[in-house]
Structure 1
């Protein structure tokens, strides 16, 4: 992983302790919580070196930000993805880390992205590597989605349409459950 600068050089920043602290804070306060993030430019990339909660009663003082640093506001989920990448943790794919942050199963991620489950499994297990632009598209989509939007993406329904009447919901569930329901209904109709 790591960050690549414009010359293709990979730049990393060891921040394992910061990642563990952030994971604990996400568990306690939620990943959509906004925080101040201390950023610094190094070798043509932005490194994320610290964070703090936004507190109107106790704002960040100018002396807390070093001369070569600046503040940026982002969600704790977004920061975790960036820290994992800059820390160069190779044990888990960035897709797996992001999926866990968003509390999604592989099947749910497959359904939301319309990517076969086997492909997601292969990417996460390191058997295959997705093209970087696919990684970026997935990361952008998931990071921009709120928890409510993700929950809505997980919901599927089977509608019954009758001539001259409104559509009615006859089944609600996961994508797989809805497909199974439809298959059973087709079998009954065909016999």
Structure 2
């Protein structure tokens, strides 16, 4: 499997700010795609603001629901070489 990395610095910084403001247990919708057979998180949104509709997802985009601290772990990992 090839090594890949995905620049997630901006998303990590934004999520850290949200964790400071709302807490690490904040539930978020996590948008992701499969790139080179790996799950790559590309964005997130707060759970409860509004329901995410299937037509709001880009091609090949999927959703997970995670606590903010777990998404942060995954973003930090994907920001390094996978």
Question: Normalized against structure 2, the TM-score is what?
Answer: 0.90
CA positional deviation for 1:61: 2.6
After superposition, the C-alpha distances for 1:10-36 in whole angstroms (9 at most, x for unaligned) are: 221111111100000000111111110
Q: Give 1:29's match in structure 2, choosing from 9, 12, 22.
A: 22
- Counterpart CA distance in 2 for 1:64 and 1:14 is 23
> What are the ranges of 5 or more consecutive residues in structure 1 without an aligned counterpart?
1-6, 90-191
Instruction: Give ranges in structure 2 of 5+ residues lacking alignment.
Output: none
Q: Partner of 2:34 in structure 1? A: 41
CA distance in 1, matches of 2:65, 2:15: 15
* Number of aligned residue pairs: 81
Please name the residue that 1:78 is paired with.
70
Aligned-residue RMSD, C-alpha: 1.5
Higher relative contact order, structure no. (Cα contacts within 8 Å, ≥ 6 residues apart) = 2
The TM-score normalised by the length of structure 1 is 0.40
Q: Kindly provide the CA deviation profile for residues 21-77 of structure 1, in whole angstroms up to 9, marking residues without a partner as x.
A: 00000001111111100010010110000000011x621132321121100001100
Higher strand share: 2
Which contiguous aligned blocks of 4+ residues in structure 1 show a shift greater than 6 angstroms?
none
Bigger Rg, structure 1 or 2: 1
What corresponds to 1:67 in structure 2?
59
